[in-house]
Each structure stands twice: as C-alpha cells, then as structure tokens.
Amino acid sequence: MSKAIELLKKHWGFNSFRESQEAIIKELLDKKDAFVLLPTGAGKSLCYQLPALLSDGVCLVISPLIALMEDQVKSLEAKGIKALMLSSKLNRHDTIVAFDNLQFGNYKFLYLSPEKLQSEFIQEKISQLHVNLIAIDEAHCISQWGHDFRPAYLKIPVLNEMHPHTPRIALTATATSLVKSDIIENLNLIHAKVFSGSYYRKNLQINIEKTADIRGRILKLVQSVDEPIIIYVSTRKSTLEYRQLLNAKQINATAYHGGLTYKQKTSALDEWSNENSKVMVATNAFGMGIDKSNVRMIIHAHLPNSIENFMQEIGRAGRDGKDAKTYLLYNENTIWESKNMIQKSTVSPEFCKMVYAKLNDYYQIANGEIQENLFSFDLQEFAVRYQFNLSEVYHALNHLHHEDIIFYDQNPNKSSRIKI
C-alpha cells in the first residue's frame, strides 16, 4: 500500500485515503471483486483509478453519461494520466487508432457507454486488450427499479466472458435493497465483498422547516449565499415559475426538467456549471452527472418522493467537503399534494394494463429489438408523457415485480418479452 499512498500524493495531491477507499483498493489489488455503495462525493472514482495505475494494462470503465466520461478523462489528464473515451463522434478509423493507443501506447483508462459495448467490433477490440480492472460506474442503471434504468447495462456481463479473471468493481450511490440485489444478480457479483459506508455527511446541515410562505423563504435563503444553489420542485411548471420569481429579483436562475431536449438540457447544465447562473431550479430529472463540487445550498420546495431521493438530492451539496446547507420547506399544502399523490396510487388491474401498453409504446419495441435511439428509461418522463401520476406508475409496476411480462406490438404475432 505504500506505493498506493505515493501515487495518491503524486497524482492527486492528497495525503491520505478516505474511509473505505483503502480497503476497497486492497480488495482489487488482491484480484477480488468489489461492490461499492457510497454516497455521492465519497470519492468512489479513486477506488478504481488508483489500483488500475498500480497494475499493467488498461482499466475499462463503463459509464452512463458522456458528460461524466468527459469530466473523468479531463481530470485524469490533468493528473498526467492517459485516458480516453469512446464517444459517438469517433468513426471507425478513430476507433482503431484509439485501440492502438490502448494496446501499444501508455493509455491506462478506457471510458465507454454500455451502448458502445454492444458493438461487435468494439467487443473484438476489447477482447484483445490486456484489461487489469473492469469498473461499472453508476451501477444502479442496471436495475429497472432504479431511477435511471439503461437496458444496455444488462449487456455488461459480456466483459466477464472476455476477461474472466479480471477483477470487477461496481459503484453506486443509490441502492435500495431491491436495486442492490438486482445489481448483484445481473452483474453476477455474488462473491464480491460489499463496501457500504455511512451516509452521514458531517459538512451538510440539514434543515426541515414548516413555512406558510415557501416562495418568500426561498428568496431569503437564495440571497443569503453567493455560491451555486439547486432548488428541487415537483413539476415542470414550477421550475419556470420559480425561475421567473428569482429573475424578477435580478437573481440568475436556470430551469431544468425532463421535457427539455438534449441540447436544452446541456445548455442549462452548462449555464449553471459555469456559474453564469447561480440557481438551478429543477425537477428530479436533474440528477446523475452533476459533478459540481461547490454547491452550497439545496432547497426542496416540495416533499421528495422517497427518502432515497431526498438523500441523493441533498448529497449534491458540499462535495468539496466545505459546509453546505439543505432546506426542506413544507406546509399543509405541500403535505396535501403529496398525500393526494399517494392516495391516488391504488390502481386497478385495468390501469396496470394501460400502463404496460403505454410502456410498450415508450420502449418503441420493434420485432423484439430495442431501437437504437432508446437511451434511457425515465419513469418520471414516461409518466408525464402519458399524463399518468408517477406514484400510480410505480404502483402498477409493483404488480410486475420480477416477473416476465409481454409487451404486445400492434401486431399481436410480434410480441416482445422483457424482464421487469
């Protein structure tokens, strides 16, 4: 481990490992698998990046978002470590050059999306590499019970077939017991040691306040800090309303929700990340991929759907380790709104059938093949598109718990079976 500390100082400039990092690194250096459940900001990247530097060969990292990969590659390069990502911009020639660099140059990291991994050409290239470690970041994307289910994650086990003796590490911050067992089962990590740390973050001050005037309180809170803020609201409409409220007070605010196009989302995220805009007003569609370390305040203007959501959302504050505050603001109205959602969520079998039928549309399944443009399965987005209540959709899906169900095409002879 002394070599590990040396590299930690040399490349990262840190003096010591954080809790759990050292044990995880040891496990991987012993060629064993690891399953890491640690909160956002805990320092999970280092857990695979450092052991990869200590071994010959290349570390493969599966990551769900281009923005996340770009960040990681940039930050490794800034540390003097050679890394590259397979983006969709690369043509076949570029891809061949990239793999040449990995095989014969001194590149240590290859980041790629699970969709890229489906290409046979890429698989062939990967099978020729000397892979020292396989890291599966945001591993909850493999579970239909998580918020960010990505069907392509289910294909990741092809890597085990190509490199059966390479240790693997799966990392996530979101893990309900259901999601956790899904990850273990789907990635075949039964023998992996589980590292789960405390979700306690001592630099976060968590405030839960009852207030009749949520808007007024928000204005006060926002004016009390200079650094970036996120306000979570429950609907797309409220993102716009709060943005307007803040703009009227000369506070720069950006709105973000699942209904924006990819381009609009990127530009909203950029505007806030570059701090041209102080406040991001968002629905819970704003989440994965935010790697902003100096968020000083998170405000909830509604009751979050679950404790997991709440933890995940407030976890985006104070990633730099400095003090940050979070506020959950509520009153009778917001309680009533969320109760109303829960009450509405007792669903009939007919409703379930309708949800499944719409899911079929949403999946755009043709001839049993998921079309290429299907990128992610966002329940919230799905619910909004078909004007379902999100909690009703959850309820309907609960009836399907771990059973095979059939989605019918318009043509009943063509049906597709999907495991939910």
Contact positions toward Mg ion, by CB under 5 A?
A: 44
Q: What residue is closest to ligand ADP based on CB?
A: 43
What does the DSSP 8-state code read for residue 123?
H
Applying the rule CB under 6 A, the residues between 30 and 49 that interact with ligand ADP are 38, 40-46
Least distance (Å) from ligand ADP to the CB of residue 237?
31
Q: Which stretch binds ligand ADP (CB under 6 A): 16-24, 221-229, 296-304, 357-365?
A: 16-24
Nearer to ligand ADP, 21 or 254 (CB): 21
Q: 319 touches which of Mg ion, ligand ADP, none (CB within 5 to 8 A by kind)?
A: ligand ADP
What CA–CA distance (Å, rounded) separates 192 from 289? 26
Nearer to ligand ADP, 293 or 348 (CB): 293
Nearer to ligand ADP, 14 or 121 (CB): 14
Nearest to 103 by CA among 128, 121, 133, 134: 128
Between β-strands 279-282 and 297-300, what pairing exists: parallel, antiparallel or unpaired? unpaired
> Count of residues binding ligand ADP (CB under 6 A)?
14
Q: 18 touches which of Mg ion, ligand ADP, none (CB within 5 to 8 A by kind)?
A: ligand ADP
Least distance (Å) from ligand ADP to the CB of residue 273?
14
Nearer to Mg ion, 44 or 116 (CB): 44
Q: Which residues contact 76 (CB under 8 A, 6 or more apart)?
A: 49, 82, 83, 108, 109
Least distance (Å) from ligand ADP to the CB of residue 312?
11
Nearer to ligand ADP, 17 or 149 (CB): 17
Nearer to ligand ADP, 98 or 324 (CB): 324
Give yes or no for a contact between 192 and 150, defined as CB atoms under 8 angstroms apart.
Answer: no
What does the DSSP 8-state code read for residue 14?
-
Decide if residue 11 touches ligand ADP (CB under 6 A).
no
Least distance (Å) from ligand ADP to the CB of residue 39?
7
Task: Give the Å distances, CA to CA, from 249 to 125, 218, 224, 245.
Answer: 55, 12, 13, 7
Nearer to ligand ADP, 203 or 416 (CB): 203
Phi and psi torsions of 373, nearest 5°: -75, -5
Decide if residue 298 touches ligand ADP (CB under 6 A).
no
Q: Dihedral, CA atoms, 32, 37, 43, 48, nearest 10 degrees?
A: 20
Burial of 101 per CB tally in 10 Å (0-12, 13-18, 19+): middle
| Other C-beta atoms lying within 10 Å of the C-beta of residue 90 | 15
Least distance (Å) from ligand ADP to the CB of residue 139?
12
Burial of 268 per CB tally in 10 Å (0-12, 13-18, 19+): buried
Least distance (Å) from ligand ADP to the CB of residue 197?
10
Question: DSSP string of 167-213?
Answer: -EEEEES---HHHHHHHHHHTT-TTSEEEE-----TTEEEEEEE-S-
Decide if residue 293 touches ligand ADP (CB under 6 A).
yes
Which residues would be at the binding site for ligand ADP (CB under 6 A)?
14, 17-18, 21, 38, 40-46, 293, 319
